[in-house]
Amino acid sequence: MSVLAALGRVILGLFAAIGRVSIFGAQTLSHMLRPPFYPREFALALLNIGWLSLPVVGLTAIFTGGALALQIYAGGARFNAEAVVPQIVAIGMVRELGPVLVGLMIAARVTSSIAAEIATMKVTEQIDALVTLSTHPMKYLTAPRVLAATLVVPLLVAVGDVIGIFGGYAVATGTLGFNAAAYIQNTVDFLQLRDITSSLAKGAVFGCIAALMGCYFGMNTGRGAQGVGRATKGSVEAAAVLILAANFVLTGVFFSL
């Protein structure tokens, strides 16, 4: 009985949390659509989330693409299918690894910094100060960040896809003896439009999740330095899990229907 009760409590808590996050998301959307708008905040968010994430995205993608090429070559060699390296690297990067790795990197880099920043503002009464200065905190802090992340993370994913494929290409042509022109030709021929749109769509959803979780946990922080620490940790955990769950759902939507 007590096991059932505990399970019930956990499930109820989960639903309550989903409800709160959904309301938060809906409020964010409504603030995005209604003036006043804060273009400066939006531009800063674009810069922080997009431009400044490029190095980490590029490095993640190039090493992953390289490792992928090595594994596919080694695995393919067991049944004489080494030649599929370009095709599988392209599909693997564009459909799954590009969006997921960029999403997780954004969760690590952007979600944590948004959560810590907003939580600190909360505990030092800066959020209250915003309210007294006739500025809605969600409109000023949440809406620009979520909008910027939703728009710019797909671009980061595109960059990650390209660099990842390049990583595979560099390894394949450099050490595995592939012909450069043929490698590129195979990649281009094999990728379909659906692969690319799914990649970008995943990027948009992951970006939205990452920024939303940072803002949500930041706005709902506990008190003091400990509160800020908990909010930051919670935001990254939630963002990472939700990104992976959303990836599973989106893969299902795009490729099994």
Partner 1 sequence: MITLDDVHKSFGSNDVLRGVNLHVAKGTSMVIIGGSGTGKSVAIKSILGLVTPDSGTITVDGTDVTKADRDAFLARFGMLFQGGALFDSLPVWQNVSFRLLRGSLAKPKEEARAIAVEKLRRVGLTADVADRLPAELSGGMQKRVGLARAIAADPEIIFFDEPTTGLDPIMAGVINDLIREIVTEMGATTMTITHDMSSVRTIADHVAMLHAGKIRWTGPVAEMDSAGDPYVDQFIHGRAEGPIEAVR
Among 2, 80, 132, 256, contact with partner 1 (rule: CB under 8 A): 132
Q: What is the smallest separation between the CB atom of 144 and partner 1, expressed in angstroms?
A: 12
Q: Does 71 bind partner 1 (CB under 8 A)?
A: no
**Minimum CB distance to partner 1 smaller for 137 or for 168:** 137
Q: Does 42 bind partner 1 (CB under 8 A)?
A: no
H, E, C per residue of the chain: CHHHHHHHHHHHHHHHHHHHHHHHHHHHHHHHHCCCCCHHHHHHHHHHHCHHHHHHHHHHHHHHHHHHHHHHHHHHHCCCCHHHHHHHHHHHHHHHHHHHHHHHHHHHHHHHHHHHHHHHHHHCCHHHHHHHCCCCHHHHHHHHHHHHHHHHHHHHHHHHHHHHHHHHHHHHHHCCCCCHHHHHHHHHHHCCHHHHHHHHHHHHHHHHHHHHHHHHHHHCCCCHHHHHHHHHHHHHHHHHHHHHHHHHHHHHHHHCC
Among 34, 128, 194, 252, contact with partner 1 (rule: CB under 8 A): 128
**Minimum CB distance to partner 1 smaller for 54 or for 123:** 123
Q: Does 134 bind partner 1 (CB under 8 A)?
A: yes
Among 131, 180, 188, 241, contact with partner 1 (rule: CB under 8 A): 131
Among 14, 16, 52, 129, contact with partner 1 (rule: CB under 8 A): 129
Q: What is the smallest separation between the CB atom of 42 and partner 1, expressed in angstroms?
A: 13
**Minimum CB distance to partner 1 smaller for 126 or for 251:** 126
Q: Does 251 bind partner 1 (CB under 8 A)?
A: no
**Subset of residues 84 to 123 that bind partner 1, contact rule: CB under 8 A:** 121
Q: Does 135 bind partner 1 (CB under 8 A)?
A: yes
Among 8, 19, 36, 174, contact with partner 1 (rule: CB under 8 A): 36
Q: How far is residue 215's CA from residue 41's CA, in Å, rounded to a whole number?
A: 14
List of residues contacting partner 1 (CB under 8 A) = 36, 38, 121, 124-126, 128-135
